[in-house]
Amino acid sequence: MSDRYRDFTSSPIGKLLVKNLGLPNPTKLERYEAGAPLVTGTVGLGGRGRLAESLGGILGTVGIASTEVTGAPEEGQRFKGLVFDATGLTSSADLVALRDFFTPLLRSLETNPRVVVLGTPPEQVSGAERVAQRALEGFTRSLGKEVGRGGTVQLVYVAEGSEGAVTSTLAFLLSPKSAYVSGQVVRIGARGATVAGEVADWQQPLAGKVALVTGASRGIGESIARVLHRDGATVVGVDVPQAADPLQRLMKELDGDWLTLDITGKDAPQRIAHHLEEKHGGVDVVVHNAGITRDKKLANMAEDRWESVIGVNLTAPERITRELLDQGVVNAHGSIIGVASIAGIAGNVGQTNYAASKAGVIGLVDSLADELDNGITINAVAPGFIITQMTAAVPFATREVGQRLNAMSQGGLPVDVAETIAWYANPASSAVNGNVVRVCGQMMLGA
């Protein structure tokens, strides 16, 4: 799916117009290819907090080269990423350390760079330290809108005792897997388990695991299935009977399994639970991806439009999740992942039903995060403008505006959502719980 505007800005006349008219100038985003190194370049490390001494070893575990940086870079030195440990900042006066570290280095970043700041959850500290740690959110979100050239900036709050559980998150955020994720705040160990699960093979962290994906036959669901399969999982795809043919073709290609049913059906949760238990002995990853839109302004909203969207997007995930948990079908240290939407955070004209359903998915995460046991986690992704067959049908002008109103000036791809879900599903992400991460290129408005 080509971005014609981005292609145009790369042409001689396009470059001229961008420069003279101040038009959006999107950079082609690097995305991960199976078997490739996570990072092709060096990550510069700085800061003096709880994680500083261990960062080099942590990154080395997943094959990421790094070096400590204490001042201006050497002549010709370039960085693919930067990680700053800000857990040692205990007052607003200490925040100058951010300027001291980043200002000399930002011009030494390569294209598509990755920046990560590590902090302590503000709710776990008090006084001047709480002030300083909360200030990191404004810093990272602003830097995310400045860094440019396809770069991303994230803040990762690491609870005390969870320092050893950051590997999978740093591997994701420093790699092309997070191409369309920027300006986000991730919490590790703040809710629930603080110890990371074991990963024998970082190329296939889901080897031996079973993953359920609803709405798996096409679009984002198909990408989720493909990425989880790439990471070693046996995928069980679920979709409506009308999508049986493409669902079966995809699952046969991925050596997976399938189940055709309407997830809003009265017995759907029981059928899914029975299938997973009987054929696979349980499930390790549950992805609630199935979703529909029935847009209309509320003044013209018919009852069936409201009920169908709420039923598919929210009530069905609630019922299925509860059944799988009550029946003990979700294996210990399993992962439940909801697909929300930026509309559920910022709202959208004509989508009161859809936005309510997607905000409800975020509510489901929040309600269960502290309730789950056996090391089971629940998180959600909130996609922004993702280029799919559905968005291709949106009127040209509306589509162009939707794609450009983010820090990257372009739409995302289904694989960007899938990679974020695969990070949640990674056993080493077992301390990542109760998070909602936007996959939106850091939207400029509303969220």
Number of domains in the chain: 2
**Measured distance CA(146)–CA(153) in Å, rounded:** 10
- φ, ψ of residue 53 to 5 degrees: the values are -70, -25
Q: Say which of 32, 157, 180, 354 is annotated catalytic.
A: 354
Residue 184 counted as domain residue: yes
Residue 393, domain extent? 210-439
Q: Are 265 and 307 within one domain?
A: yes
**CA–CA gap between residue 447 and residue 105 (Å, rounded):** 28
Question: In a structure prediction context, what are the per-residue pLDDT tens digits for the chain, which is 447 residues long?
Answer: 567 777 777 788 777 777 777 777 789 999 999 999 999 999 999 999 999 999 999 999 999 999 999 988 989 999 999 999 999 999 999 999 999 999 999 999 999 999 999 999 999 999 999 999 999 999 999 999 999 999 999 999 999 999 999 999 999 999 999 999 999 999 999 887 667 778 889 999 999 999 999 999 999 999 999 999 999 999 999 999 999 999 999 999 999 999 999 999 999 999 999 999 999 999 999 999 999 999 999 999 999 999 999 999 999 999 999 999 999 999 999 999 999 999 999 998 999 999 999 999 999 999 999 999 999 999 999 999 998 876 666 666 677 777 888 999 999 999 999 999 999 999 999 999 999 999 999 987 665
Is 424 catalytic? The answer is no
Helices 414-425 and 219-230, packing angle to 10 deg: 40
* 226 and 92 within one domain: no
From residue 350, give the alpha-carbon distance in Å to each of 26, 149, 257, 315, 355.
29, 34, 37, 21, 9
Whether 53 and 183 share a structural domain: yes
Smallest CA-to-CA distance from 218 within 410, 414, 438 is with: 414
In a domain, 204, yes or no: no
Alpha-carbon distance values, 205 to 31, 32, 335 (Å)? 19, 15, 13
| CA–CA distance, 221 with 14 (Å, rounded to integer) | 35
Q: What is the DSSP string of 129-177?
A: HHHHHHHHHHHHHHHHTTS-TT-EEEEEEE-TT-GGG-HHHHHHHTSGG
Question: Which tokens go with 243?
Answer: 């999508």
pTM, 2 dp: 0.95
Is residue 312 located within the same domain as residue 357? yes
347 by DSSP, 3-state: which? coil
Same domain, 220 and 361: yes
Domain check: are 416 and 317 in the same one? yes
Domain holding 147: CATH number?
Answer: 3.40.50.720
Nearest CA to 177 out of 61, 290, 36, 284 is that of: 36
